[in-house]
Amino acid sequence: MLKGRHLIEPGNLELSEIDEICQLAEKMYKNPAEYAEVCHGKVLATLFFEPSTRTRLSFEAAMLHLGGSTLGFADAASSSSTKGETLADTIRVVSSYADVIAMRNPKEGSALLASKYSSVPVINAGDGGHHHPTQTLTDLVTIRALKGGLEGHTIGFCGDLKFGRTVHSLLNTMSRYPNNKFVLISPNELALPEYLVNSVLKAKNIEFTTSERLETVIDSLDILYMTRVQKERFFNEEDYIRLKDSYILDKEKMKLAKQDMIVLHPLPRVNEISVEVDDDPRAAYFKQVRYGMFARMALISKLLGVL
């Protein structure tokens, strides 16, 4: 039963609960009109202490499509935190006005703190480098819909695997499903943190390989999850120049991939996926955005107990 619960990290959800949310999201995707009034009279507060486009609008669109309403702010400068109000007091106040809160804050652990002072469910919309659980739900709904399930895939994570919270959360969650294998594609400077390799992949005896070059492994992938390689993460420009083009997905690299591979990206994209790939039927990152709205619709409905 998800009613009244907080969602701070993907690990808060049992696999059965994740499957329940994904199934509902798929039903909503296929027949949105059936769910157009399920949250009538309910209010979502979006508290974004740092700028966001997709995530904030996706939450607001989700609530509006459910027949509810929204209130909140899109920048810390619009809140009383500029006057010195504590996060705890802000949450106490806002939970008096709303039925559910979606919050993004640059400080790690802020969502967990908010959940301790809120009288309504809190959804973590990103707390610094820690967690972004609704992006993970978005990824899972997309994979289920386009690949038929969450088991038995070879998943390639490409780019910044060291600092990418979306990569960490999705790898953690997909490792909970049987027969998934991982290919970790990154420069050594941005490799997956050793603690994740040890605590997730090695501890669970999950098959994985590493590569510094995308083109040498892309033919083995069922799912390619792209992220940006950031110049500022390198100690010297020579290494960046040597490796940066290895992580630009273009038509030539796509020719090497399976015909049913899908390409995902948490967005925003910079130059790591060439625009020439957008017309490829395997490019699923804009479909992913739409699935994200339905993932959040399903989650909100479950936390509010209306479905």
Cα–Cα distance for residue pair 13/257, rounded to 1 Å = 33
C-alpha distances out from residue 72 to 76, 278, 289, Å: 11, 34, 22
Q: What pLDDT is stored for residue 92 in this prediction?
A: 96
Cα–Cα distance for residue pair 239/235, rounded to 1 Å = 8
Positive or negative torsion for Cα 120, 30, 179, 278: negative
Q: What is the DSSP string of the chain?
A: --TT--BSSGGGS-HHHHHHHHHHHHHHHH-GGGGTTTTTT-EEEEEESS--SHHHHHHHHHHHHTT-EEEEESSGGGSGGGGT--HHHHHHHHTTT-SEEEEEESSTTHHHHHHHH-SS-EEEEEETTS--HHHHHHHHHHHHHHHSSSSS-EEEEES-TTT-HHHHHHHHHHTTSTT-EEEEE--GGGPPPHHHIIIIIITTT--EEEES-STTTGGG-SEEEE-PPPGGG-SSHHHHHHHGGGG-B-HHHHTTS-TT-EEE--S--SSSB-GGGTTSTTB-HHHHHHHHHHHHHHHHHHHHT--
Q: Write the pLDDT tens digit of every residue in 185-229.
A: 998 888 999 999 999 999 999 999 999 999 999 999 999 999 987
The pair of structure tokens assigned to 87 is 């996060």
270 HSE (CA, 13 A, CB side): 10
Q: What pLDDT is stored for residue 209 in this prediction?
A: 98
Residue carrying structure tokens 């006057």: 83
Average pLDDT over residues 246-275: 93
pLDDT over threshold 70, residue 64: yes
Closest CA to 136 of 178, 169, 175: 169
The pair of structure tokens assigned to 252 is 């030539």
Residues serving a catalytic function are 54-55, 83, 104, 132
Q: Write the pLDDT tens digit of every residue in 139-152.
A: 999 999 999 999 99
Q: What pLDDT is stored for residue 84 in this prediction?
A: 62
**226 in Cβ contact with 250 (< 8 Å):** no
Average pLDDT over residues 225-239: 77
Per the prediction, the chain carries an average pLDDT of 92
Average pLDDT over residues 242-264: 91
Q: Write the pLDDT tens digit of every residue in 272-306.
A: 999 999 999 999 999 999 999 999 999 999 999 99
pLDDT over threshold 60, residue 78: no
**216 in Cβ contact with 158 (< 8 Å):** no
The rounded percent of the chain whose pLDDT value lies above 70 is 94
**111 in Cβ contact with 101 (< 8 Å):** no
